[in-house]
Structure 1
Amino acid sequence: MPSLGDGVRTAGDLGMYAQNFLLSLASRGFAGIPQAVLGLYADTVRAFLDVPGDLKLLFGISFGTADPAAAVNAVRRGRVPLQQSVYLHDTPGVLGQQ
């Protein structure tokens, strides 16, 4: 990530790029996982990939083909209903609101 201004807008742009990259991977049959924890190992990643020191590493994306037989791909998590986590103002009819 280049140092521009306060870095917030640059980080936002990178997030939008990452989302589109992940969607592009999915549309081509690949899987991708964004990993912000890689930023904690910036020096190691920078040395391995020969990234200049004036660039900040915000996150990495691992990608490839998924293994449907892997145990981790069988994990399922429940979700709370949207009504418990989202409040919409002045939007009658959305999420069953009156």
Structure 2
Amino acid sequence: HLYLIRVKPEKLTIGRDEFARELQKKGIGISVHFIPLFRFTYWKELYPSFTAQNYPNAENQYVQTISIPLWPDMTDGMAEEVIQAVKETGETHHA
């Protein structure tokens, strides 16, 4: 299961990677999913002209999105920890 959040650069003073590091410092496991094909070495070699400029929506989605924990056995307390960490990080770095 995935639960995605979007880190909007116009609303925060930090980007996705720093936001993710802040969550990790608070003990929240995060992941990055849905990496655009043009970022993979194989596709770069096969189609060198395919770049972020050709696919701005895919690139924007990628650089703004992280996955936060979600699974069937997650307790309310665990969910609350994730919610608090996201909320605190957003409030601390609000633009």
Q: Would you call these one fold, judging by a TM-score over 0.5?
A: no
Answer 1 or 2: which has greater helix percent: 2
Between 1 and 2, higher relative CO (CA 8 Å, sep ≥ 6) is seen in 2
Q: TM (normalized to structure 1)?
A: 0.27
Whichever of the two has the greater Rg, that structure is: 1
Q: TM (normalized to structure 2)?
A: 0.28
